[in-house]
Amino acid sequence: MGKFLLVGAGGFIGSVLRYLASGYIQESMRTASFPYGTLAVNVLGCLVIGFLSQLAETRGMFTPETRALVFVGVLGGFTTFSTFSNETLNLLRDNEIFPALANLSAHILLGLGAVWLGRTLAYWVWR
């Protein structure tokens, strides 16, 4: 039962952080035609999970409880691939083919790149 509560608490924290960060970024871009806020949150979440997973795998830095809180809870609540999917489908539905493809490509390429960068940073910082 303890891990369920940790995941729930972490999910609450991650979701609130996602709401604040994506809203701020989207508002600062002053356009609603491209989901910049969601893109930024997903890339940041990928960077953080890459960094922390490298430490978890190579240094054993996280207990199972901490992993539940941080990886499943906070980062699971923070990254928003369900929102990303919905926004991409909405762009396609609105016949915004290029923005939909740009959104899809940017999330995949930047997300994978950020995970790689996070792992590389963790490797070099804690080697």
Residue range 1-58, pLDDT digits in tens: 899 999 999 999 999 999 999 999 999 998 778 999 999 999 999 999 999 999 998 9
Q: Compute CA 21 distance to the chain's CA centroid, rounded to the nearest angstrom.
A: 11
The region, left, alpha or beta by phi > 0 then psi within -120 to 50, assigned to residue 34 is beta
**pTM of the predicted structure, to 2 decimals:** 0.81
What are the pLDDT digits (tens) for 68-125? 999 999 999 999 788 899 899 999 999 999 999 999 999 999 999 999 999 999 999 9
Sequence-distant (6+) residues with CB within 8 A of 108 are none
Return the SS3 of 32.
coil
